[in-house]
Amino acid sequence: MRKKTLSVLLGISIVIIMVLGLLPSCTPAETPGPGGTTVAPTAAGEVFNWRYQSTALAGTPTYWVGEEYMAILKKASSGRLNMDYQPQGAIVGSMEIFDAVATGAIEAGSS
């Protein structure tokens, strides 16, 4: 159980580090997006509300750790990034998380 919890903590930490690294890199010019579309610049202080699905079951220690990390992420981003943290199967099946992120059905996830 301890090894699994540590693995989940490491995975969530990596996601948080990647997300926090992307926040300050917003540029004032439009940038190319997926499929050749352009992405408008973000306004200073703009708030992002993302859906994040985990493979952890609600009510488990692994899920609670994820909830704590989402609170830390919100604090670290000064409230600019809010993660709607969902348990396994809440939005898509566990084996569909990466496809859901790729298609934009959800903004983030872990497996």
Q: At what angle do helices 2-22 and 61-76 cross, to 10 degrees?
A: 20
d(CA 17, CA 107): 16
Q: Looking at the predicted structure, is the pLDDT value of residue 24 above 60?
A: no
Q: Looking at the predicted structure, is the pLDDT value of residue 9 above 50?
A: yes
Q: Looking at the predicted structure, is the pLDDT value of residue 3 above 90?
A: no
H helix or E strand, kind and range, residue 68: helix 61-76
d(CA 111, CA 108): 11
Higher pLDDT, 6 or 56: 56
pLDDT in tens, 61-92: 999 999 999 999 999 999 999 999 999 999 99
d(CA 7, CA 9): 5
Query: How many domains are contained in the chain?
Result: 1
Mean pLDDT to the nearest integer, 48-61: 94
The residue segments making up the domain with residue 56 are: 2-109
Percent of the chain whose pLDDT exceeds 70: 61
